[in-house]
Amino acid sequence: MKNLSEAVGSGADEDSHLVEKKLSSDEILTGNFLQICRDTVSLPDGRHTTREYVVHPGAVMIVALLDDGRVVLERQYRYPLHAVMIEFPAGKLDAGESSLACARRELQEETGYTAREWARAGVLHPAIAYSTEFIDIWFARGLTPGKQQLDSGEFLDVFSATPDELMNWCGSGRVTDAKTLTGMLWLTNMLSGAWTLEWQAARP
Amino acid sequence: MKNLSEAVGSGADEDSHLVEKKLSSDEILTGNFLQICRDTVSLPDGRHTTREYVVHPGAVMIVALLDDGRVVLERQYRYPLHAVMIEFPAGKLDAGESSLACARRELQEETGYTAREWARAGVLHPAIAYSTEFIDIWFARGLTPGKQQLDSGEFLDVFSATPDELMNWCGSGRVTDAKTLTGMLWLTNMLSGAWTLEWQAARP
């Protein structure tokens, strides 16, 4: 079977057999929370079809490292699944907000913590078939506790665990949230030294 | 800070300060592809709000291990992100279809491979804030190549990579699909022996 470079090829049009092109776009739902678009697209073979997707502003997730090596976690009821889920802190970007500003705000609002240093690890895309959402993955360290400031209608528990505890919950099925599982991939590679982070000091 | 058992407590109503209760439910969009519901719920403090979410039938992902240790991957254009993404093979459950039957069908349709043995590793939830979707994570081994049978309107490249190559792409940002990153967490823990799988023979 082909490897990646054989599959990708080398020409400028290397992906023309895969790419879909937008012909038109309509917002078909403007909800209280969800915005849904339906685009008409041309397929690689020239036929037309429609693609429907959630339009999302993007989000951040924070892997916050306590000085004793534990990480900050949340338990939150997630209505679509009718279950309390274990998650890394996360939240949506406000309009015009930078990713780091959002990460600092969400960590402080949801957990009370402020961090002395931050590092952007990468990005994940949770639902590539039907959402534009990206989640920037941030690490934080040098944490100082403070007062939680939850949004109206937001209810969550904050707790901490060791990376080993969290990894066990990932393997046992207690943690099933994809962003948190992805954060665990980053955390384990960061702790082993396989992947490195570029830390920056938080400015006031 | 609390650890998990302190955060959870021990009473029967241990999560009553988090749980939201359904009061009513309406389907607010019946699209060609997406179905969206809006529920009115009561919050833990008794106030009412709405929750909007994608109703999804569930899906499977397959980490297919070639005899030489490489894994089977796909490159597919994902319209909401306007990008070709590297992914493990995956697909949605048909009505009434079992998770394993779906995994066997999707692997064969998308890549041509059939597998001698299967193991269900776990489940992930890609977008817990706004989708009911779950993705069952399957491993497959003892692979035999065959003929791809893509759905009409489905276009993708199949290729293979070593686990080390794939891990490097996860760390460099070349792979950002959350299900594939989660599959990588499973693959690396399975290969190290930290997490074990229960293999079952595929029946005809």
- The answer to whether B92 and B58 are in contact (CB under 8 A) is yes
Which of A20, A131, A134, A191 should one mutate to test binding to chain B, selecting the residue with the greatest count of B CBs within 10 A? A131
Taking 80 as the threshold, does the pLDDT of residue A180 lie above it? yes
A80/B179 CB distance under 8 A: no
Q: What is the pLDDT of residues A159-169, one digit of tens each?
A: 999 999 999 99
Searching chain A, which residue's CA lies closest to the CA of residue B38? A31
Ranges assigned E (strand) in A125-196: 135-144, 156-161
Give CA–CA dist A29/B17, Å, rounded: 32
- The answer to whether A21 and B47 are in contact (CB under 8 A) is no
A–B: how many Cβ contacts below 8 A?
257
Contacts of A38 in chain B (CB under 8 A): 31-32
Place of tokens 């019946």: B30
- Closest CA–CA distance from residue B130 to any residue of chain A (Å): 6
CA–CA distance from B131 to each of A148, B63, B69, B79, B198 (Å)?
A: 27, 23, 34, 18, 29
Which of A14, A43, A54, A166 should one mutate to test binding to chain B, selecting the residue with the greatest count of B CBs within 10 A? A54
Q: Look up residue A65 and give its two tokens.
A: 């490292």
Among B53, B191, B43, B204, smallest CA distance to B126 is for: B53
Distance linking the first and last C-alpha atoms of chain B: 53
Q: What is the pLDDT of residues A50-69, one digit of tens each?
A: 999 999 999 999 999 999 99
ipTM of the complex: 0.96
Q: What pLDDT shows up at residue B2?
A: 87
- The answer to whether A181 and B181 are in contact (CB under 8 A) is yes
A18/B86 CB distance under 8 A: no
Contacts of B20 in chain A (CB under 8 A): 77, 79
Flag residues of chain B having pLDDT under 50.
none
Give CA–CA dist B101/A130, Å, rounded: 24
Q: What pLDDT shows up at residue A10?
A: 61
Give CA–CA dist A125/A54, Å, rounded: 13
Q: What is the pLDDT of residues B54-74, one digit of tens each?
A: 999 999 999 999 999 999 999
Give CA–CA dist A91/A121, Å, rounded: 16
- Closest CA–CA distance from residue B203 to any residue of chain A (Å): 26
Q: What pTM, to 2 d.p., does this model score?
A: 0.97
Name the helix (H) or strand (E) containing B178. helix B178-192
Of A50, A75, A78, the CB nearest to B129: A78
Searching chain A, which residue's CA lies closest to the CA of residue B184? A185
Cβ neighbours of residue B75 under 8 Å, at least 6 residues apart?
A7, A8, A15, A18, B84, B85, B86, B87, B156, B157, B159
Q: Look up residue B79 and give its two tokens.
A: 């319209």
